[in-house]
Structure 1
Amino acid sequence: MSGQTLTDRIAAAQYTLTGSEVCRAVCKATTHEQTGPKKKHLEYLIQATQETTVNVPQMADTLMERAGNASWVVVFKALITTHHIMVNGNERFLQFLASRNTLFNLSNFLDKTGSHGYDMSTFIRRYSRYLNEKAFAYRQMSFDFGRVKKGADGVMRTMTVEKLLKGMPTLQSQIDALLDFEIHPQDLNNGVINACFLLLFKDLIKLYACYNDGIINLLEKFFQMKRSQCKDGLEIYKRFLTRMTRVSEFFKIAEQVGIDKNDIPELTQAPESLLESLETHLNTLEGKKPEDK
C-alpha cells in the first residue's frame, strides 16, 4: 500500500480549514501508508511541544482520536507518534498524558480486514499497554525513567531506601510491559512495526540502565536496612535476576534484525553467592539458624 488514501487527504484538509497545523501534522504522521511516521511530521510535533502557544491537550486528543480508527496502520502509527513525542518532546506532553485517568483503551482492538490486520492487532494491544504503563510510571514517580540521569551520581543510585523500595516495583512494571510485547524476528515485516520496535529497543536500554543503577544502590544499602526493608529488597533482587533473561532475549532479537552490536549493552550475570549472602543476612535478622533455611 503506497501513497496516502483519499481519507487521509480529507482528514488533513479538514484541519487545514480549521487552522490547526498541529492536528494536520498528527493526521499526516498517521496516514494509511504502511511505513513509519515521516520524520518531518514527527519533528514538527516535537518542536510544537516546546512552544508555549501550542495546545498540548488538543495534540493529545487528536492522537487519541486517531488511535480510535478502524485501521491497524493508523492506530499503530498514532501510538508510535505518541511514543516519539513522549520520549523527545517537551516533558509537559508526558505530564499531561500522566494526568489523564485513562490513556489508550485498546485491549479489545482487532482489525479483521485480513490476516496481517489480525497479527498486527496483537502487537497494538500490547504496545498500548506499554504506553499506558509508561505514563502511569511518570504519575507514580513524577519523572520519566528514560530521561533521568544515569550512573554513579544518577537518580537511582542516590535514592533513599524508602524511595528506592517504592520506585523499583514501578520500574519493574514498566519493563515487564515492554517485554510483554514479545516480538520475534519474523514479525518485523513492515515499516510500521519496525519503527515501533526501534522505539521500544531504545527505551529498554534506558530502563535497563536505571534498573541496574537501582540494584547497585539496593545492594550497597542492603546490610544497613531494617528487616522489613531487607525482605522487600530481596524480592526486588530476585525479580531482577529473572527479568535479566528476558531482557537478554529482547537484545538478541535486536541483534538478529540488524541493530549494531555496539549499540546493545552487555549484560553480566551476578554470582549466585551474592543471592545466598542476601538470604543469609535476612535469615539472621529473622532469627533463623542456617540449617532452618
Structure 2
Amino acid sequence: MSGQTLTDRIAAAQYSLTGSEVARAVCKATTHEQTAPKKKHLEYLIEATKESNVNIPQMADTLFERATNASWVVVFKALITTHHMMVAGNERFLQFLASRNTLFNLSNFLDKTGSHGYDMSTFIRRYSRYLNEKAFAYRQMSFDFGRVKKGAEGVMRTMPVEKLLKGMPTLQSQIDALLEFDVHPNELTNGVINACFLLMFKDLIKLYACYNDGIINVLEKFFQMKRGQCKDGLEIYKRFLTRMTRVSEVFKIAEVKDKPNNTLYC
C-alpha cells in the first residue's frame, strides 16, 4: 500500500478546519501507508511538547484516539509516534502518560484483514505492553531509565541500597516487556515494524547500560547489605544472568538487519 488513503486526507482536513495543527500532525504521522511515520511530522510533534501553550493531555488523547483505529498500520504508527515523543519530547509528556491509570488498552487488538493484519496485531499487543511498562517505570522511579546519566557517576551506579533494590526490579520488568516483543529477522517485513524495532533496540541499549550499572552497584554494596537485602540482591543478579542470552539475541537481529541488503531503516 502506497500513498495516503482518502480516509487519511479527510481526517487531516477535518483537523485543519478545527485549527488543531498538533492533531493534524498526529493524523499525518499515523496514515495508512505501510512506512515509518514521516520525520517532519515526528519532529513537529516533539517540538510541540516543548511549547508551554500546547495542551499535552489533548495531544495524548489524539494519539490514544488513533490507537483505537481498526487498521493495524494506523495503530502501530500511533504507538511508534508516542514512543518517539516519550524518548525525545519534553519530559512533561512522559510525566502525563505516567500519571494515567491506563495508557494503551490493546491486549485484545486484532486486525482481521488478511494474514498480514493477524501477524502485525501480535506485535502491536506486545509493543503496547512495553510502552505501558515504560510509563509505569517512570511513575515508580520519577525518572526515565533511558534519559538518566550512565557510567561510574551515573544514577544507577550511585543509587543508595534501599532505592537500588526497589528500582532494579522495575528496570527488569521494563526490559522483560521489551524482550517479549520477540521478533525474528524474517518478521521484519515492512517499514512500520522496522521503525518499531529500531526504537526498541535503541531503548534496549540505554536500558542495558542502566542495568549493567545497577548490577555493578549491587555487587559493590553486597557485603554491606543486611541479610534480607543480600537475598534480594542475589535474586536480582540471578535474573540479570538469565536475561543476557535474550539481550544478545536482539543485538544479533539488529546486526543482521543493519547489513546493506536489508531494510531496517525503511
Same-fold call, TM > 0.5? yes
- C-alpha deviation, 1:257, in angstroms: 0.8
The answer for unaligned runs of 5 or more in structure 2 is 261-266
Aligned to 2:207: 207
AA partner of residue 182 (structure 1)? D
AA partner of residue 79 (structure 1)? L
Aligned to 2:233: 233
RMSD: 0.8
Aligned to 1:102: 102
Asked if 1:155 is matched to 2:155, the reply is yes
Post-superposition CA distance 1:153-203 (Å, at most 9, x none) = 000011000000000000000000000000000000100000000000000
Equivalent-residue separation in structure 1 for 2:39 and 2:30 (angstroms):
12
Post-superposition CA distance 1:192-235 (Å, at most 9, x none) = 00000000000000000000000000000001110000000000
- C-alpha deviation, 1:41, in angstroms: 0.1
Equivalent-residue separation in structure 2 for 1:59 and 1:254 (angstroms):
32
* TM alignment of 1:167-206, pairs within 5 A: 167-206=167-206
Equivalent-residue separation in structure 2 for 1:224 and 1:17 (angstroms):
64
Give the TM-score normalised by the residue count of structure 1: 0.88
Post-superposition CA distance 1:126-179 (Å, at most 9, x none) = 000000000000000000000000000000011000000000000000000000
AA partner of residue 21 (structure 2)? E
AA partner of residue 109 (structure 2)? F
Give the TM-score normalised by the residue count of structure 2: 0.97
SS in 1 for 2:156: coil
Quote the sequence identity (%). 89
Aligned to 1:248: 248
* TM alignment of 1:63-142, pairs within 5 A: 63-142=63-142
Q: Which structure carries more relative contact order (alpha carbon 8 Å, separation 6+)? A: 2
* TM alignment of 1:219-230, pairs within 5 A: 219-230=219-230
AA partner of residue 184 (structure 2)? H
SS in 2 for 1:156: helix
Runs of 4+, deviation exceeding 3 Å: none
AA partner of residue 9 (structure 2)? R
- C-alpha deviation, 1:258, in angstroms: 1.3
Post-superposition CA distance 1:62-83 (Å, at most 9, x none) = 0000000000000000000000
AA partner of residue 16 (structure 1)? S
Equivalent-residue separation in structure 1 for 2:259 and 2:200 (angstroms):
13
- C-alpha deviation, 1:47, in angstroms: 0.4
The answer for unaligned runs of 5 or more in structure 1 is 261-293
Aligned to 1:10: 10
Equivalent-residue separation in structure 1 for 2:13 and 2:47 (angstroms):
22
Post-superposition CA distance 1:35-88 (Å, at most 9, x none) = 000000000000000100001111100000000000000000000000000000
AA partner of residue 86 (structure 1)? M
- C-alpha deviation, 1:259, in angstroms: 6.2
Higher CA-based Rg: 1
Equivalent-residue separation in structure 1 for 2:224 and 2:166 (angstroms):
17
* TM alignment of 1:2-81, pairs within 5 A: 2-81=2-81
Equivalent-residue separation in structure 2 for 1:162 and 1:111 (angstroms):
45
Aligned to 2:264: none
Equivalent-residue separation in structure 1 for 2:245 and 2:224 (angstroms):
29
Aligned to 1:278: none
Equivalent-residue separation in structure 2 for 1:249 and 1:197 (angstroms):
13
